[in-house]
Chain A
Amino acid sequence: MKVVWNRLSSALLVLIAASFITFTLARVIPNDPSLAYIGPKATAADAAKLRITLGLDQPIPVQYIKYVWQTLHGNWGYSLSTKQPVLQEIIDRLPSTIELIFFAMSFAFIFGVALGVYAAKYRGRVQDSVIRILAIAGVSMPAFWLGLLLQLLFAGRLAWFPATGQFDIDLKYEHPISKVTGFPLFDSIITGNFTATLNGLHHMVLPALTLSAYSFGLLSRMARANLLEVMSSDYIKVARAYGLSERLIFFKLALKNALPPIVTVTGLSTAYLITGTFFVEQVYAWPGIGGFAVNSLLSIDYPAIMGITLLAAVGYLVINFIVDLIQAKIDPRMWLR
C-alpha cells in the first residue's frame, strides 16, 4: 500500500507543478492575452476593462491561486476561438481520441509483441532481420508523413478506406448513434447500431495504423531484446538441462519473465501517443483532442492550451500509475520497494 501512497503523493506534486508551468507559460506570451480575446479593433479602454474582468490586473500569485481554484471547480475558462467552455470542448472530444489511442495501442501491442517474440525465436535469421528493419522504420517514420502516404494510397488511389473523419458525414442523419457513454464507436456497439460500428471501424483503420507505427517499433524491439536476455539466464539453462520441451520453456517460462519490461514500454509508448494524436488527428481530420490542440496552439488560444496541457499531464500520470499497478501484479517484488 505504501507504494500506492508514495505514487499518489508524488503525482499530486507533479500536478501542482504542471499547473504552475502551464500557468507561467501562458503569462509569458509576448502579447497581452486580453488582446487575443477581444480582437484587434478594441480600444485601449476596452482592453483595460477586460483586463480587470479577466483578473489580469492582479498580482501573478493571486492569479495562480485563482486559476487553480477555478480549475478544481470545473471552470477551465472559455476557448478564445470557439467561445465554448474549454472543459466542455475537451469532454466532447476526448472519447474519440481515447478510442483512437485504444485501437492504435492494441494494434501495436499485438503485432509488436508477436513479431518481437517471433524475431527472438528466429534470431540471426532472415525473419529477424526483416522484423528489425520494420521496427527501426516504425520508430523513424514521421507520423504525419505516414498518414499522408496511407491516405494517398489507400484512400486516394485504391479507395479502400475513407480519408478523413471518424464516421461518414451523412451517418448522423441515416443511422444516428444514440449517446450513452459519449464514446461514439463504443456507443454504436452497445446500442446495436451495426451500420455505424462498421462505418466507424472502417474509418479507424488508417489513423490507428498511422498512430501505432512508433509504438509497434518500440515494442517489437523491446520484446525481442528482453526475451533473448531471459533465454540466456540460468534458470532457462536448468530447465533445458532437465529436458523440458523447447516450446514449454519459450512460451511458459521465458515469456512470463520478459513481460514486465514490455509492460513498461507499453505504458511509455501510450504516453507517446498522447502527442502523436496531435499530428495524426490533424492529418485525418479526426474529431478528437489532438486536432483541437493543434488549432489552439496555432491560434494561441491560451485557455484551451492550458486545459489541454493539464489534461495531457494528468493522462500521462494515469498511464504511469496503471503501468505501476500492472507491474506490481506481475512482479510482486515491487511492493517491497
Chain B
Amino acid sequence: MREKFKGFSFLIKDRLTTMATTMMAIFIFSAIFGPWIAPNSKEGAGATNVDNSFIGPGASHILGTDELGRDLLSRIIYGARPALLIALVVVGFAAIIGTTLGLIAGYRGGWIENVIMRVSELFLSFPPLLLSLVAVTFLGPGLVNALIALVISWWPWYARLIRVEASIVRSKPYVEIAAAMGVPDRIIILRHILRNVTTPLIVQIAADLGTVILAAGSLAFIGLGAQPPTADWGLMVAQGRTVIFDQWWISTFSGLAIFLAVLSFNIIGDALRDHFDPRIARQ
C-alpha cells in the first residue's frame, strides 16, 4: 500500500507544499461534502435571512454574514464547488482540444500544421483574458458561458505546447521506423507520441488550474461570470465591495478563498514540475 503512494511523495516534500496539499484537500472536501459540513446549508445554497444581515465575524457566525443575512462561511464552503468545477472543466476541455490539434499539427506537419498553428497564434495575439471577456459579453453573462469563453482563449496554449513536443518525438528513430513499417498514424499518435507528451501536459495542466480559478473569479467580479444567487467567490467579493469600509469581512474572506485556492494550486503545480523535471528542481 505504501509503495503505491510513493509516486505522490512530492506533495509533501517540504513544509510549504504540505501546507498547500492540506489546503487543497480542504477545498476538495468542501466541494464534495459542502452541503453536509456547512454550518448553515440552506443559507449556503442561497436562502436569505435578512434579519441577520451584516453581522460581524464572531461566535454566532465565525466569518460574519452578508447583506442578505447569509452565513459567510457556509457561502464560501458552497463556493468551492463552482470554483473547482470551473478549473477542471476549462482546463480539461482546453487540454483535450489543444492536445488533439497539437498532436495532429506536430505529427502531420505540412499545410495542416500551418493552418492549426496560424489559428492558434491568432488567438494568442490578444492579451490574456481579453478574448474571454469579449466572448462572454456577447454570449451573455453566466457560469456556463464563462466556461466556454475561457476554453476559447485557453486551448491554443496547449496546441502550441503539444505541437513542439510532438514534432520532437516524431523525428525520433523509433517513430520513423514504426511509420516505415506501416503502423497506422492513429496508432503511432496514440501509442508513441501521446505517451511521450504526457509529462509536459500534466505540468501545464497543474499550472493552469489555479490561473483558471483566478480568471473565472475576475470574470465573476465584474459581473460577467456566475450570477446570483450562485455562491461564487468572485461574485461575493463584488457584492461586498460596496460596503468594504464598514462590512469589510465579506470581500476580504471571499477573496481570501480565491487567493488560497489559487496559491495551493500554484504551489502544488511547482512541486509537480520539479518532480518531473529535476533539472529545474536542482536549482
Chain A residues with a Cβ under 8 A of chain B: 14, 17-18, 21-22, 25-26, 28-30, 123, 129, 132-133, 136-137, 139-145, 148-149, 151-152, 156, 225, 228-229, 232, 271-272, 274-275, 278-279, 282-283, 293-294, 297-298, 300, 305, 309, 312-313, 315-317
Contact B237 A17 (CB under 8 A): no
Contact B133 A278 (CB under 8 A): yes
How far, in whole Å, are A166 and B218 apart by their CA atoms in the complex? Answer: 23
The reply to whether B224 and A18 form a contact with Cβ atoms under 8 Å apart is no
Let me know if A142 and B234 touch, CB within 8 A.
yes
Q: Once the chains bind, are B126 and A312 in contact (CB under 8 Å)?
A: yes
When C-beta atoms are compared, the residue in chain A nearest to B125 turns out to be: A14
Q: How far is the CB of A257 from chain B (nearest CB, A)?
A: 15
Contacts of B237 in A (CB 8 A): 142, 144-145, 148
* B248 at the A interface (CB under 8 A): yes
Q: Which residue of B lies closest to A227 (CB)?
A: B283
The yes or no answer to B214 lying at the interface (CB within 8 A) is yes
- B282 → chain A closest CB, angstroms: 9
Query: What residues of A have a CB within 8 angstroms of the CB of B134 in the complex?
Result: 22, 25, 297, 305, 309
Contact A136 B252 (CB under 8 A): no
Contact B252 A152 (CB under 8 A): yes
| Interchain CB contact under 8 A, B137 and A305 | yes
Is the CB–CB distance between A144 and B218 below 8 Å?
Answer: yes
Chain B interface residues toward A at CB < 8 A: 16, 121-122, 125-131, 133-135, 137-138, 140, 210, 214, 217-218, 221-224, 234, 237, 241, 244-245, 248, 251-252, 255-256, 258-259, 262-263, 265-267, 270, 280, 283
Bound: A132/B259 CA distance, A = 16
Known contacts A136-B263, A142-B217, A152-B252: A309-B126 contact under CB 8 Å: yes
Point out the residue from B138, B217, B266, B283 that lies within 8 Å of A228, measured CB to CB: B283
Pairwise interchain contact A21-B222, C-beta atoms closer than 8 A: no
Knowing A152-B244, A274-B127, A317-B125 touch, does A136 contact B270 (C-beta < 8 A)? yes
Given the complex of chains A and B, what is the CA–CA distance between A272 and B265 in angstroms? Answer: 20
Contact of A312 with B130 in the complex, beta carbons under 8 Å: yes
Closest-by-CB residue of B relative to A294 is B222
13 A–B contacts from the bound complex (CB under 8 Å):
A18-B125, A21-B131, A140-B265, A142-B221, A145-B258, A271-B128, A272-B127, A275-B127, A278-B222, A309-B130, A309-B134, A315-B127, A316-B127
Nearest A residue (CB) for B123 = A21
Cβ-defined partner of B122 (8 Å) among A14, A28, A123, A141 = A14
B141 — nearest CB in chain A belongs to which residue?
A298
Query: Are B258 and A225 neighbours in the complex by a CB distance under 8 Å?
Result: no
Q: Which of B125, B259, B265 contacts A17 (CB 8 A)?
A: B125
With a CB–CB cut-off of 8 A, which chain A residues contact B218?
Answer: 142-144, 279
Taking CB atoms, residues of chain A closer than 8 Å to B222 are 144, 278-279, 282, 294, 297-298
The answer to whether residues A275 and B140 also contact, given A228-B283, A232-B283 and a CB cut-off of 8 A, is no
| Min CB–CB distance B57 → chain A (angstroms) | 14
Question: Which listed residue, B128, B234, B251, B270, touches A272 by the CB 8 Å rule?
Answer: B128
B145 to chain A minimum Cβ distance, whole angstroms, is 11
Residues of A within 8 Å of B245, CB to CB, are: 152, 156
- Nearest residue (CB) in B for A163 is B245
Given contacts A26-B138, A274-B127, A297-B134, 17 further A-B contacts (CB under 8 A): A18-B122, A18-B125, A136-B267, A140-B265, A141-B259, A142-B258, A145-B251, A149-B255, A152-B244, A232-B283, A272-B127, A275-B127, A275-B130, A278-B222, A297-B133, A309-B126, A316-B127
